[in-house]
Structure 1
């Protein structure tokens, strides 16, 4: 049987992208697969040509590698910069503070959250302690917590720091439902795009959302029940802001939720819940809203911003790249079948 492939994958790299390439070596068979991993920059397509990256600032002496299509197993597009495990943990801690659920507790470095039972961020166990990447997952304690709250067991699995959780899933894959791959993107708030107010629009950020704001929000295209919407406005360990564009007549036509939370002595702007009314799409409101909420975050003291987007949402990825965000890492959620 061919060994399983890595969980986190990207497709369709462009010239200039930094990637990790898993390559099947010539001579491999269905029962004996030999792989090698190459980290480098794409210098050609059709066929794929990769220049191995420098190490410690010293240029690599390896020649460019041309890889036939039949040898390519996995291509993962990497951030242009080096991401440390502590950086992944900091962004995930800031996110967890922005979505704490109704009840949460710590257990052996894992943050256990229970909320509405719908959105993963507020209803999952997250490996956020500094040593959890090297220790067994406390499944007994996680199981007890979610049974007490009558919720399914759901593990949050970020890249690298979530390896022990991935091993739990891999031991019994039929017992788990894997959610979609989610791209976590970040950027510095030292560089904010031009933020001109669109003609005919007014921009505001409120401490709490009103009915118009809540009625516009959907989670992955689906309307949320009242208890799920209530979680968006529940007190967090930080500051919330509910941004919107309204017309001169007072109609709410675009919204976003912003949070300011701290991790590793860094202040982060979290940017989520972006919606534009159907009649007002393709007018640049999403881009303008993103730029203005970044300005608000910087004024509130944040130095960095992050957001999450499902990996197959090409329109969302395009918007966020335009706003200056780049991929930081990826994560998934695994829900236990009960």
Structure 2
């Protein structure tokens, strides 16, 4: 790895390079009386309080003390790949979980129990006082992610998970994958036999990233930011009254961006969310205002976010879309996404009211 410029090593990155692909060398000690160095290449996702965070291609996040840097530079993004990527169900489920993170997690063998409990204000009557109710912000952040053996017999694992969610005022939900040889078909069958009902069937779709950005559309009017503002949250139909917990989920992930197309008469015409994690660019929350649909704004948002993801070194795209959302399915068909696998949730027999 070559860092020398004019015969000397230089740190040639600044805080303004956050979001770019960088190569860094840091001092890690001594070996046989000589300085020892370690190199890292990835996207500079943050630089705060004297610590740099670099996300490598495989999704690993490396934290580096600024004081240990001996050389650093911005490097070109890896060449964009135009073929649909190969991936396992486990890889995609793991990346998607990092891109939509729960606030609280607990491990049970290779299962992860996830929760993002929020206090949601509820108007009791017109002009009356508000009372709070507990809810989980989205099923994805409030369900078991089973990526292997729970380490205990299945009935015991389910009992533990049910108690864990009950302690948080939530129903017990398990995310199960379908449609591929490496999916959760055996677990799905076991849950069905135990009376766990199915709900919210979803398609996980993937595509090459480069073609999403390779359009003639002018994306200069799409605003990108690291935080969702009030207009973005108003159009996002799951947020309701934004809570701190909802914001924590929405802004969580290795490198998160929010896209917004301002409306000419004020407000927001379209939005989207992107999370870059190694080679993967995850798209979500693509919404268009009711009066602005069928004008290509969703595709424009996707193109702007894809451009940013390519700049950060991603090459593959994924998203999750409800199986019964025909309009979204048709859009993603046109953009070149293909189904990789499906997933849905299994709800425990005593699940009670649904979470968000």
Q: What is the aligned-residue RMSD (CA, Å)? A: 2.8
Matches of residues 15-164 of structure 1 in structure 2 within 5 Å? Answer: 87-116=88-117, 117-129=136-148, 136=154, 138-159=157-178, 160-164=182-186
TM-score (norm 2): 0.62
Contact 2:222 2:260 in 1 (8 A): yes
Distance 1:255 1:287, change over 3 A: same
Match of 1:230 in 2: 247
Match of 2:47 in 1: none
Match of 1:294 in 2: 306
Distance 1:82 1:256, change over 3 A: closer
Distance in 2 between residues matched to 1:310 and 1:186, nearest whole Å:
14
Distance 1:324 1:271, change over 3 A: same
Is the partner of 1:112 in helix, strand or coil? strand
Does 2:197 match 1:177?
Answer: yes
Q: CA deviation at 1:156?
A: 0.2
Match of 1:166 in 2: 188
Match of 1:254 in 2: 270
1:213-268 Cα distance to aligned partner (Å, 9 max, x none) = 0011014xxx63433642443433x1110111124566321001111124xxxx21
Match of 1:8 in 2: none
Does 2:296 match 1:284?
Answer: yes
Corresponding residue to 2:229 among 207, 210, 235:
210
Q: CA deviation at 1:305?
A: 0.9
Is the partner of 1:233 in helix, strand or coil? helix
Distance in 1 between residues matched to 2:315 and 2:349, nearest whole Å:
40
Contact 1:157 1:331 in 2 (8 A): yes
Distance 1:325 1:242, change over 3 A: same
Match of 1:59 in 2: none
Contact 1:197 1:203 in 2 (8 A): no
Contact 2:209 2:306 in 1 (8 A): yes
Distance in 1 between residues matched to 2:300 and 2:280, nearest whole Å:
20
Contact 2:101 2:249 in 1 (8 A): no
Distance 1:234 1:194, change over 3 A: closer
Does 2:240 match 1:239?
Answer: no
Long gaps (5+) in structure 1: 1-79
TM-score (norm 1): 0.65
Number of residue equivalences: 245
Q: CA deviation at 1:82?
A: 10
Q: Greater relative contact order: 1 or 2 (C-alpha under 8 angstroms, separation 6 or more)?
A: 2
